[in-house]
Amino acid sequence: MPNSYTTKLNTATGKVDLSHGGGGRAMAQLIDELFIKHFDNDLLRQRNDQALFTVPAGRLVISTDGHVISPLFFPGGDIGSLAVHGTVNDVAMSGAKPLYLAAGFILEEGFPLADLEKIVISMAAAAKRSGTPVVTGDTKVVERGKGDGVFITTTGVGIVPEGVNISGDRAQPGCAILLSGSIGDHGVAIMAGRENLQFDTTIVSDSAALNSLVADMVAAAPADIHCLRDPTRGGLATALNELAQQSGVGMIIDETQIPIKSEVKAACEILGLDPLYVANEGKLVCICTADAAESLLAVMRQHPLGRDAAIIGEVISDEHGFVQMTTAFGGRRIVDWPVGEQLPRIC
Amino acid sequence: MKYISEFRQQDLAQQLSRAIVQTVDPDRHYRLMEFCGGHTHAIFRYGVQDLMPDNVEFIHGPGCPVCVLPTGRIDNAIQLAERPDVILCTYADLMRVPATGRNSLLKAKAGGSDIRMIYSTQDALKIARENPDKQVVFFAIGFETTTPPTAVAIKQAQAEGLANFSVFCNHVLTPAAMQAILDAPQPVAIDAFLGPSHVSTVIGSWPYEIFAERYAKPIVIAGFEPLDVMQSALMLIRQLNEGRHEVENEYSRAVTRQGNQKAQALVNEVFELRPQFEWRGLGLIADSALKLKAGYADFDAEQRFNMPAIQASDVKGCECPAILRGAKKPQDCKLLGTVCTPENPMGSCMVSSEGACAAYWSYGRVRG
């Protein structure tokens, strides 16, 4: 039987206080009237400290991701939708079908309940769209000044289909490198939302769950996909360097083949950033056999999240593990690991 | 992207490349110093060297403001930032520049100092207005390009009576550095210069005429886009072939002979020459840097905080000084890539994206 409370949770003008994390009735009410209300699903409604479900025999993947983004609301998304997409994508990059999510909220005392509700509604919508319900969770409240509004950690589990063997150490010389769409949208959208950077832009974050795109790709060429990686923090350059290092190979990419929106290019030019290092939250890099590249590209382009997909380069053997780029100018350069953060806290 | 992509076009680059190959004298070696870090960055980032014949060599110059700042001035800034009443505002490039004792502004910030990365002097003024109980110091660095905005901020602070704002001035002058390179006791073999672009928008092209004349060195004011660099190289090669030594202006879309006189007047109103200033790599150079004039002394952080002159030594083995003079190349340094990397820089040239070592390490290493 659900608890009954004398007054409803004030999501109009109320604020998070320490009692919301104290384990008492106030916390139960927050869970009931905010989290269960919006995340609504059978497993969560059981109100257990864990979610129990049956999985088919096979290989299970698990991934976790902490989200500490500033600002919490940005063009094209918010910390709630991002917390779902980030983890769904990390699970999907193994080729898996993501099944369920768990969410941990760290709330700062004084955080407006209206904002929290907006975040939870957005998160619930993202979970629904991606078919990965939030089935268990946790809430903690920290004193004012010890958090930054809200931090969300999500953990996801998924099942890897038979015959799929995707891992960052499987890039081989001769493989093709595919990219699902334009780079840098998320990072630039976040920057435009920062108060100390005064510029207006129409760019919105690309934050999206990629599991349905991955499902289409895996269904089309299960054995040909060697690596998948979502180029989030550190951008495309970092993702490629990670894969090159894990696999002990080099790469050569062609700058003219990398899709970048002109608004993103312009913003990067003004801010002195290299779009190759700017974060994405709805893109993936795929390394596959050269033979399958064209057909896989066609499959990606059929999907709304892969419409602008392109073959951007190939894996080569290189004892140094360099990622090189033929520049649009006609020269050649290294695309190195990034140094430090181009921006603090973008995911 | 209008006005940017036009200067990065591959077909034009190929045409220029062919023109350069046809123009060079195969029996001659051309040593062109690109003065600015902006040029160095463009050469590496776009792979310009790949489009040049082997006998055209770029020698990286000292025009990287972060690189030429001596360690002692960073130590000064850290000491200032460590004061509990101070908020230090700085451009982000300076954060990782090594200071004495493996320190840096980034480490000082992690240690609790209030150091803010800003994008313009206006941000520093805003922070000063919002924190009247704090001393807000702007760590001003750069060549003539960044000096006018500092002058504007100082005048604004004076007009507003913003008493908690001050400037730690490290603005330096380009012609003085060029002279120091040419007058060095063991001068580096340089045939010609790609002259500063953004700096010249402010000071104009005339200040270089004396070098073209007196030292018989061709100078071409060169923009920072890769096609600018190639076009300017071609212009220099032609001058050398023809035995001319003039100041020519490739960057005519932004630079005039006289420069931006309004900006110059503003700078002259607020700043005056220091008798001498220390440059990393080039040592003490007379009349090479600016300080606040007496009328603006209230906003001079060096006076307000009675900042000491700090003599600091560079890391042993670091070749930044020789690299900044053009005497060595990044790959000549034994520390490069072994103990000195962008993540763990030993010298300033590995920090800024305009630094020769960082550009070489991040973009050019593949050539070995």
The structural domains of chain B, with segments of one domain joined by +, span 1-314, 320-367
Over range A6-18, report the average pLDDT: 91
Q: Is it the case that residue A343 has pLDDT exceeding 60?
A: no
Q: Say what the ipTM of the complex is.
A: 0.77
Report the pLDDT averaged over residues B71-97: 94
Chain A residues touching B49 at Cβ < 8 A: 331
What are the DSSP calls for A125-170, one per residue?
Answer: HHHHHHT--EEEEEEEEE-TTSSSSEEEEEEEEEEEPTT----TT-
Q: Which residue from A256, A322, A328 is facing B366, i.e. has the nearest CB?
A: A322
Please enumerate residues of A whose Cβ is less than 8 A from a Cβ of B.
196-197, 256, 262, 265-266, 269, 272, 320, 322, 324, 326-334, 336, 339-340
Of A332, A334, A339, the CB nearest to B50: A332
The predicted model gives A62-66 an average pLDDT of 97
* Closest Cβ–Cβ partner in A265, A272, A329 for B47: A329
pLDDT of residue B69: 92
Residues of chain A with CATH 3.90.650.10: 176-334
Q: Which residues of A279-309 are buried (b: 16+ CB within 10 A; e: fewer)?
A: bbbbbbbbbbbeebbeebbebbeebebbeeb
Quick one: average pLDDT of B277-302? 95
When CB atoms are compared, the residue of A196, A324, A329 closest to B10 is: A329
pLDDT, position B337: 87
Name the CA dihedral angle for A13, A18, A22, A26, rounded to a multiple of 10 degrees. Answer: -20
The answer for B 291-310 residues in CB contact with A (under 8 A) is none
List of residues 6+ apart from B269 with CB closer than 8 A? B151, B155, B293
Q: Are B250 and B232 in contact (CB under 8 A)?
A: yes
pLDDT digits (tens, 9 = 90+) for B111-151: 999 999 988 899 999 999 999 999 999 999 999 999 999 99
* CATH superfamily of this structure's domain A176-334: PurM-like C-terminal domain (3.90.650.10)
Q: Retrieve residue B240's tokens.
A: 């050398």
**Which of A146-155, B263-272, B330-339 has the lowest average pLDDT?**
B330-339
- For B163-184, the pLDDT digits (tens) are 999 999 999 999 999 999 999 8
CATH, range A18-160: 3.30.1330.10
pLDDT at B89: 96
**Are B89 and B129 spatial neighbours (Cβ–Cβ below 8 Å)?**
no
Helix (H, G, I), strand (E, B) or coil at B291: strand
- CA-to-CA distance for B116 and B138, rounded, in angstroms? 10
Give the model's pLDDT for residue A331: 85
The model's pLDDT over A87-111, given as tens digits with 9 standing for 90+, comes to 999 999 999 999 999 999 999 999 9
Strand-pairing partners, residue A62, are A157
Q: How far apart are CA B111 and CA B83, in angstroms?
A: 12
Q: State the average pLDDT over residues A262-274.
A: 86
pLDDT one-digit tens code per residue, B182-210: 998 888 899 999 999 999 999 999 999 99
Tell me which residues of chain B, numbers 93 to 122, contact chain A at a CB-CB cutoff of 8 Å: 96, 118-119
| pLDDT recorded at residue B367 | 58
How many residues in total does chain A contain?
347
CA max distance for chain B:
67
Q: Do B88 and B75 meet the contact criterion of CB atoms below 8 Å apart?
A: no
Q: Smallest CA–CA separation between B26 and chain A, in Å? A: 22
Hey, are the CB atoms on B1 and A265 less than 8 Å from each other?
Answer: yes
Answer whether CATH 3.40.50.11740 is correct for domain B1-314: yes
CB B195 within 8 A of CB B177: no
Give the pLDDT confidence score for residue A258 in this predicted structure. 98
Average pLDDT, chain A: 93
Could you tell me the pLDDT band of residue A38, with boundaries at 50, 70 and 90?
Answer: very high
User: Does any CB of chain A come closer than 8 Å to the CB of residue B366?
Assistant: yes
d(CA B26, CA B21): 9
pLDDT at B74: 95
pLDDT over 70 at A52, yes or no: yes
pLDDT reported for residue A344: 43
pLDDT at A23 over 90: no
Q: Under a CB-based contact definition with an 8 Å cutoff, are residues A231 and A283 in contact?
A: yes
How high is the pLDDT of residue B362? 81
Q: What band does B90 get if pLDDT is binned at 50, 70 and 90?
A: very high
* B6 band by pLDDT with thresholds 50, 70 and 90: confident
